[in-house]
Amino acid sequence: MADPARAAKLADRIKVVVAQALERRVKDPRLGFVTVTDARVTNDLQHATVYYTVYGDEDESAETRRALESAKGILRAEVGKNITVRLTPTLEFVPDEIPVNASNLEELLRTAKERDAEVASLAAEQKYAGEPDPYRRKDDEEAAEADGSDRP
């Protein structure tokens, strides 16, 4: 088992090497505008998961996925040349879902903000059901005691 800090450093290095290799070595026309967003390496340094995003629609994303799978050998060879570990880790490419999830969250927040504005506008027009300030205060109790009444 390797040190988790070493695995994190290796993952960062793999991310850089794969991004550079995609830019310089891989000449597949199916490869779209791809960005390597993250890489994670298991603690035994045997497997690396590379996360990527693709600018474009679903067809371009599918084509890029196929291009990455076919270029996996070239990319692993590049990683093996540029890192200093005894065994070169296997590469697995996973589309990064963070941008999609972030846009969904932004939409939910936008909807919640609109609903909050609706509730605030409705609340501004409403009046209290009872007294505006239903809480007892110490000075009210003293005034009631001075009057001799049992109600403040």
Q: What is the mean pLDDT of the chain?
A: 85
Same domain, 77 and 103: no
Question: What integer is the mean pLDDT of 129-136?
Answer: 73
Q: CA-CA distance, 33 to 61, in Å (whole number)?
A: 9
Domain boundary among 96, 117, 138: 96
> Which of 59, 19, 23 minimizes the C-alpha distance to 39?
19
Is 135 contained in some domain?
no
Same domain, 19 and 64: yes
Q: Quick one: residue 56, left, alpha or beta (phi over 0 = left, psi -120 to 50 = alpha)? A: left
Q: How far apart are the first and last CA of the chain?
A: 74
Give one DSSP letter per residue of 37-89, joined into a string: EEEEE-TTSSEEEEEEEEES-HHHHHHHHHHHHHTHHHHHHHHHHHS--SSPP
Q: What is the pLDDT of residue 114?
A: 94
Taking only the tens place, the pLDDT of each residue in 5-48 is 888 999 999 999 999 988 888 887 788 788 899 999 998 889 99
Same domain, 9 and 52: yes
Q: CA-CA distance, 147 to 152, in Å (whole number)?
A: 9
Q: What is the pLDDT of residue 127?
A: 78
**Model confidence at 151: pLDDT above 60:** no
Same domain, 85 and 115: no
Q: What is the pLDDT of residue 102?
A: 85
**Model confidence at 72: pLDDT above 70:** yes
Residue 125 is part of which domain span?
98-129
Same domain, 15 and 62: yes
Same domain, 55 and 121: no
φ, ψ at 9 (rounded to 5°): -65, -40
Is 139 contained in some domain?
no
Same domain, 87 and 59: yes
Same domain, 83 and 105: no
Taking only the tens place, the pLDDT of each residue in 74-132 is 999 999 999 888 899 999 999 988 877 888 899 999 999 999 999 988 888 887 777 77
Which CATH number goes with the domain that contains 69? 3.30.300.20
Question: What integer is the mean pLDDT of 59-72?
Answer: 89
| Total structural domains within the chain | 2
Q: What is the pLDDT of residue 149?
A: 58
